[in-house]
A and B are shown apart, each in its own frame.
Chain A
Amino acid sequence: MKPDLSCKIGGLVCKNPLIAASGTFGFGQEWEAHIDLNQIGGLVTKGLSLHPREGNVPPRLVETASGMLNSIGLANPGLEAFARDKLAYLQKLADAGCLVVVNMYAESQEEFVTLAKELCALKGIHALELNLSCPNVREGGMAFGVEPDSVLRITQAVRKASGLPLWVKLSPNVTNIVAIATAAAHGGADALCLINTLLGMAIDARTRKFKLGNVMGGLSGPAIKPVALRMVYQVAQQLSIPIVGLGGICQAEDVVEFFLAGASAVQVGTANFMNPDTMPNIMRDLGEFCRREGIENMSELKGMACHACPL
């Protein structure tokens, strides 16, 4: 029997649980020549702002043990160029059954509202992902995402401004993830995306220089998976809102683990850089895993992690 790998995120149905994470997939077309995009369940665009952003001073990347730090700084062409140059391709993907989610970033609540309204008027977008967690920008971003009050306020405002399903992507750089998640859920989010990158830094011992132009950056990749898994679990224990899990997912077993912790779908980010075939490979292996384990539907796995046996 062929296992059913489709999944539901609130009211949205996704043909499979693998969604390309924001910032690793551009606006889709970048990977066209290298990945069979029909294989992926969906994609989240690079963080989009109302006006173009140049991003941070280079160097912007450094590899770390089992991970990477980035300080891109939300470089993006802005809404106008997005609608003119990027949307048509995304609409083509949407027509082919790919879930298209636009990650949105702003420096103020008003700007978030304007952006949400404008995006809501465009065709071919299935959902918005509210970026309240980028560690690489001074205004907005993580600053909004670390206080429950501002998370509630901005989520509510964007919720009112747009009829599209609203995902809120949360920062792990907080003391109490459940409090933040609760605020987003109360604000009217349709799903929560956990987690964005962990704030980190790197220094060159010999030259004594910071390795990133922006000094600090966001840590991603396999190194952060246990943290992400823990946060998905903690939130899923307290809230019934759908969770899209992300953070270091590289293989089929990782996807299963996030489902067991309580996720309804996952995003794959840094692993796309590790191997452009990561998502097609996971799809192949996930089907095989489900067949071997007698799983008919991925949703059977959701929140099913249980305690280890005492020795």
Chain B
Amino acid sequence: MQAKIVKQYPLGSPADVWALVIHAPKLAAQARPGQFVMLKEPNSPHILARPFSIAAAFDENIVIIYQQVGKVTNHLPLLKENHELLMWGPLGRGFNLNSRTPLLLGGGVGLAPVLFAWLKHAKATLMLGFDNWQRFSLLSAVLAELKRGVAINQTGPNSKIVAGGVYVTSQRPGPGWQEECALVLDPLTPENLKPFDAIMACGPWPMLKKAASMATVSELPCQVAAEALMACGVGACQGCATPKAEGGYLNLCQAGPVLSSLQLDWERI
């Protein structure tokens, strides 16, 4: 389907992460947290569309967050308002948000799935980890755009986590940072996990793996929003094969991208 750029702006510093707001009324109305779109600049020399998680959907727009990591994403910031994009979706299965007090975990700038889940769940707790303290401004910028004023708690390995809050950790703290360095999972002691009845996570595979085993130990259900290379996003190409628990592979685009951690064979990931 055709979609138009409403606007895009860099998120925080360094300015290589962008929020892209796209006008796509039908898609925006259907989108659920954890779902994704296939997106492509129609005149790009790159023939395949790329999957992008939906970070928010409001009015008739969706928001995606991307980092400039290669030729395709380096070209995107050059596109102006009203530029037409080729896009199809929403695709895949999103989060099951039927839990009372979920803990949402995001590792790095690929935080879109949990951000969208947080926007849709009034009681959710959001906890994000970044490699660099400067990335925090990314979250502030997104929240300002979404008109969600909220206190962001800088968090260290020994911080207390309270249900309903927003927490950020960093591997590299900067000036004025009161807390120690931490990975996003570091503060999740059994004590800190007590208020929660579910874990929902997105981020790099090693982080998801750790989150899944942490959930198992604490006997919490865990959903992960995973990533894979894909060409179609609808189950036709079977490129996004991901090892499943009972052996063999599942198509991440159809069975996921949000999966129960029990569906995956973590040994083969």
A-side interface residues toward B, CB under 8 Å? 23-26, 30-31, 33-34, 46, 54-56, 58-63, 66-68, 70, 72, 75, 221-222, 270, 272-276
- Cβ A72 vs Cβ B239 within 8 A: yes
Give the docked Cα–Cα distance between A222 and B45 (Å). 11
Q: Can you report 21 A-B residue pairs in the complex whose CB atoms are below 8 A from each other?
A: A24-B237, A26-B234, A30-B234, A30-B236, A55-B238, A58-B242, A58-B249, A59-B239, A60-B239, A60-B241, A62-B229, A63-B46, A63-B47, A63-B48, A68-B47, A70-B237, A272-B236, A274-B40, A274-B47, A274-B49, A275-B40
Find out whether the CB atom of B229 lies under 8 angstroms from the CB atom of A61: yes
B109 CB to closest chain A CB (Å) equals 21
Q: Inside 8 A of A68's CB, which chain B residues have their CB? A: 47-48, 231
Min CB gap A305→B, angstroms: 26
Tell me the complex Cα distance, A276–B49, Å. Answer: 10
Q: Which residues of chain B come closer than 8 Å to A23, judged between CB atoms?
A: 237
7 closest residue pairs by CB, A with B: A61-B239, A26-B236, A54-B248, A273-B231, A30-B236, A30-B235, A30-B234
Interface range, B side: 20 to 34
Query: CB distance A59 to B229 under 8 Å?
Result: yes
Does A55 lie within 8 Å of B47, measured CB to CB?
A: no
- List B contacts of A61 (CB < 8 A): 229-231, 237, 239
**A214 → chain B closest CB, angstroms:** 11
- Residues on B with C-beta less than 8 A from A59 are 229, 239
CA distance A66 to B237 in the complex (A): 18
* B228 part of interface (Cβ distance < 8 Å): yes
User: Are B238 and A60 in contact, CB atoms less than 8 angstroms apart?
Assistant: yes
B130: interface (CB < 8 Å): no
- The answer for the CA separation of A209 and B243 in the assembled complex, in Å, is 20
| Secondary structure call for the B interface | loop
The number of A-B residue pairs with CB atoms under 8 Å apart is 85
CA distance A72 to B240 in the complex (A): 9
Q: Known pairs A60-B229, A63-B47, A75-B238. 13 more at Cβ < 8 A?
A: A24-B232, A30-B234, A31-B232, A31-B236, A55-B238, A58-B249, A59-B229, A61-B237, A72-B239, A72-B241, A222-B47, A270-B47, A276-B232
**Is B116 an interface residue when CB atoms closer than 8 A count as contact?**
no
Which of B45, B228, B232 has the largest count of A CB atoms less than 10 A from its CB? B232
Q: Given A63-B46, A273-B49, A274-B47, is A72 in contact with B228 using a C-beta cutoff of 8 Å? A: no
- Please, how many angstroms separate the alpha-carbon atoms of A30 and B232 in the complex? 10
Q: Among the interface residues B230, B234, B235, B236, which one has the most CB atoms of the partner chain A within 10 A?
A: B236
Q: How far is the CA of A128 from the CA of B49 in the complex (A)?
A: 31
Taking the closest CB of chain B, its distance from the CB of A71, in whole angstroms, is: 9
| A interface secondary structure, majority | loop
Considering the complex, which residues of chain B in the window 209-250 have a beta carbon less than 8 Å from any beta carbon of chain A?
Answer: 228-232, 234-242, 247-249
Q: Are A272 and B232 in contact (CB under 8 A)?
A: yes
CB distance from A308 to the nearest CB of B (A): 28
> Do B47 and A67 touch across chains, with their CB atoms under 8 A apart?
yes
Question: How far apart sit A67 and B46, CA to CA, in the bound complex (Å)?
Answer: 8
Tell me if B86 is interfacial: C-beta within 8 Å of chain A.
yes
Residue of chain A at shortest CB distance from B231: A273
- What's the minimum C-beta distance from B49 to chain A, rounded to whole angstroms? 7
Across-interface contacts of B40 in A (CB, < 8 A): 274-275
Chain B's closest residue to A276 (CB) is B88
A-contacting residues, B19-40, CB 8 Å: 40
B239 and A66 contacting across the interface, CB-CB below 8 Å: no
B contact residues around A222 at 8 Å (CB): 47
Which of A61, A62, A275: most chain B CB closer than 10 A?
A61
Residue of B45, B236, B240 touching A24 (CB-CB under 8 A): B236
Q: Closest chain A residue to B48 by CB distance?
A: A63
User: In the bound complex, how far is the Cα of B48 from the Cα of A184, in angstroms?
Assistant: 34
A-side contacts of B242, CB under 8 Å: 58
CA gap between A34 and B230 in the complex, in Å: 16
Q: Using a CB-CB cutoff of 8 Å, which residues 64-102 of chain B contact chain A?
A: 86, 88
What are the residues of chain A within 8 A of B228 when measuring CB–CB? 58
Most interface-central of A23, A222, A273, A276 (chain B CB within 10 A): A273
What residues on B are CB-neighbors of A276 within 8 Å?
88, 232
Q: How far is the CB of B233 from chain A (nearest CB, A)?
A: 9
The residue of chain B having its C-beta at the shortest distance from the C-beta of A270 within the complex is B47
A205 to B249, CA, bound (A): 28
Q: How far is the CB of B209 from chain A (nearest CB, A)?
A: 16
Task: Please determine whether B241 and A75 come into contact, CB atoms closer than 8 angstroms.
Answer: yes
Q: A25-B236, A31-B236, A63-B47 are in contact. Are A55 and B231 (CB under 8 A)?
A: no
Bound Cα distance from A56 to B248, whole angstroms:
9
Q: How far is the CB of A91 from chain B (nearest CB, A)?
A: 19
Q: CA separation between A26 and B235, bound complex, in Å? A: 7
Kindly provide the distance from the CB of A130 to the nearest chain B CB, expressed in whole angstroms: 21
Kindly state the separation between the CA atoms of A54 and B247 in the bound complex, as whole angstroms.
9
Residues of A contacting B230 in the complex (Cβ-Cβ under 8 angstroms): 61
